[in-house]
Amino acid sequence: MKIPTMLNLAAALALATTSLTAAAQAAPATAAAVSAPQIIEGKTTVNGVRYHYLLHKDHGPVVVLLHGWGSTSYMWRFVMPKLSAAGYTVLAPDLRGFGDTDKPQAGYDKANVARDIQALVAALQLGAKVNVVGHDMGGMVAYAYAAQFRDQVQTLAILDVPLPGIAPWQDILGSDRVWHFKFFGNRDVAERLIVDREKAFFSWFHNSEAVNAGAFTDEVENVYARKYSAPGALRGGFEYYRAFPQDAIANQEFAKVKLTIPVLGIGGAGSFGPIIGDHLKHVADRVRAVQIEGAGHWVAEEQPDATADALLKFLPAAR
């Protein structure tokens, strides 16, 4: 199979690492023009892990945004304000092992990380129902969340990622498109080769997976390099890949009972967009798909307006 290749908004969305000016330089003009809702930054401990998060509280439904590898919650810096401005309560955490969240030695299978996020939602008293949106590793966590807490999830959106163990997973594993899965999956090797070269590697990797590589400015790469240079950050991120065999077993068990909630697959036209809809039909009954033109893997950063618009058309009404 061939796979196609109370803080102000500025401080909160930059994760206290970059300025509004830098964020605006990285943003398309339309995204930068979104009015600034109030977003707070916080930390709380769940399941023994201290989680960092961004949160906008409103009267609308709760949307949980989960980032992937090569990113942190900073990836949502353009999408989160649009959802917030529309009236949604929006939570964007740094996942276990990433960003400003703790980086423990273990616990990186997606079902366990999903339990972290469910506990975080409960700790923040966000309500009984959520809408979960995940990109890359966050998409895998999002599916595990919906599969484990079926009565707590209204909708699920998965952005540009296949699910371990779900067809055509084996075909994907055999393609050049995911060469990095095995590289990252070998414990210690990737860490030793990338440490002290984080910016060079991530700049190359973001470009290699992007169509609109201009979204990854020097300012953006500085943010990601700083986060992935933190002690334990490379190891924590790679542990998500090392958990794939365990994830595949869990997903095959979850998929025995398909999700009945609405599920949206969003994929870049230059990445998994052409297959994501059919892929998700293996795990859910009510699937729709959106292919984002002008985007590769990093849809929320390459084409944030199109990504936000797709979500706003899919999510339950906020007002």
Active site members: 136, 241, 297
Classify 141 as helix, strand or coil.
Answer: helix
What's the order of all strands across the beta sheet hosting 49-56?
40-46, 49-56, 89-93, 62-66, 130-135, 153-159, 259-268, 284-292
- Between strands 40-46 and 49-56, the pairing is antiparallel
Distances (CA, A) of 313 to 87, 124, 183: 14, 26, 38
Buried b (16+ CB within 10 A) or exposed e, 58-85: bebbbbbbbbbbbbbbbbbbbbbbbbbb
Q: Measured between alpha carbons, how far is 162 from 148 in angstroms, rounded to an integer?
A: 18
Neighbour-count burial of 125, counting CB atoms closer than 10 A to its CB (0-12 exposed, 13-18 middle, 19+ buried): exposed
Q: Measured between alpha carbons, how far is 168 from 282 in angstroms, rounded to an integer?
A: 10
Classify 105 as helix, strand or coil.
Answer: coil
Handedness of CA 121, 126, 130, 132 (dihedral sign): negative
Distances (CA, A) of 253 to 190, 249, 302: 30, 6, 34
